[in-house]
Copies of this chain bind each other. A is one copy, B any other.
Amino acid sequence: MTNELNPSKRLLMGPGPSDVHPRVLRAMTTPLLGHLDPEFLTLMNETKDLLKVVYQTENKLTIPMSGTGSAGMETVFVNLVEPGDKVIVGVNGLFGERMVDVAERCGAEVIQVTAPWGEIIEPASIEEALLQNPGTKLVAVVHAETSTGVMQPLKELSDIVHKHDALIVCDMVTAIGGIPTEIDKNEIDAAYSGTQKCLSAPPGLAPVTFNDRALKVIFNRKTKVQSWYLDLSMIQNYWNDERFYHHTAPITNVYSLREALRVIVEEGLENVFARHKQYGVALHAGLEAMGLKLLVKKEHRLFQLTSVLIPEGIDDVAVRKQLLSKYGLEIGGGLGALKGKVWRVGLMGYNATQTNVTQFLAALEDVLREQGYESEPGAGLRAANNTIKEQVTV
């Protein structure tokens, strides 16, 4: 017989999933409604409205797709791209690389604009690519690169892309609920995200949003969308007033997303962003006070995800294993080009708290010391606390 489910206690401070808010866990025990029950249709509308608040958009087509964040990525590309389309992708981390792969599988001619992992994509490089590739249909970048901790500035880029009559598409998996996405103000034409980062819900849904410019492209396609499961021309008829059955919505995941969004809207979006910033900056100060270096320069750092360079001679895996076994604390390793070179530390949603900054810095200091890396005792904690105090008194 298989044992009862009884996992060890964890504090999830990696690149996601992060810990789920207790109210969200509780919402998931609610018995199901049918996917066409009038009461469920009301919950769907409420979820859309809450998503619009958190995405900072009025886009009518703002819905959760029935898959994880990567299904959101695929949704954007299979619906907007047709074979032969020119697509420019900004690649400065793993998720840019993934977009290239997904776009190519849609038959796109992909032009990569690269930057070193840990840096932003310069708007000027995108403009150059647009000039060299007239007729480009869309430009895709990652707003919050989960593999590096880089925050990509969007407004200037968006203006350039629109000047060249292309669409701008953003990966906002780690952005949503952590930093302002400003879909409307930034004039982002389409975006996708996930639930398991700053929304503090379990993975399983991919909130997407499309503005009218993007919808026009979808409705003027010459070919069928290659994915039946992600075909928005059908799915929108379930999420709008037609309520036409497409596939059975993941009811419980919708419950969880709705509750997660309620929690955020109750706290207030601006307060949520301020909290991420406050503790993110404190974490950065703490790490630097311990003599550690961060991968990303200050002006391009995310608050919700921080890449720390692994000090020379320190064993990546040993540190992460010990954090997990001794403290139940999970952080992430590096991916791709950064494998073995960085640790990734998340302070996402429900987890962005004073307690977690403290717990992490104290645990890291202890484990690093055991692994032979010395830092002034308590220096990280003091620096973090001072930074928090300064921000509060400002």
Contacts and interface: CB of A to CB of B under 8 A. Distances in A.
A32 B50 contact: no
Contact of A5 (B30, B69, B203, B253): B30
A225 B226 CA distance: 11
B203 A250 contact: yes
Interface stretch (A16-24, A179-187, A270-278, A374-382): A16-24
Interface in A239-284: 245-253, 255-256, 258-259, 262, 265-266
Binding site secondary structure of chain A? loop
Contacts of A212: none
Contact of A228 (B25, B46, B102, B225): B102
Interface residues of A, number: 75
A171 interface: no
A129 interface: no
A277 to B, nearest CB: 25
A330 B34 contact: yes
A1 interface: yes
A289 interface: no
A16 B251 CA distance: 11
Contact of A20 (B26, B32, B34, B67): B32
A228 B5 contact: no
A160 interface: no
Given A28-B25, A31-B20, A204-B250, A5 B70 contact: no
Interface string A29-63: 11111110101100100100110000000000000
Contacts of A25: 28-31
Nearest to A173: B248
B248 A98 contact: no
Nearest to A201: B252
B105 A330 contact: no
B74 A229 contact: yes
A252 to B, nearest CB: 4
A31 B9 contact: yes
A227 B43 contact: no
16 contacts: A2-B46, A2-B265, A5-B258, A7-B31, A17-B32, A17-B248, A17-B251, A20-B31, A32-B202, A35-B203, A66-B71, A74-B227, A202-B250, A202-B253, A203-B249, A252-B256
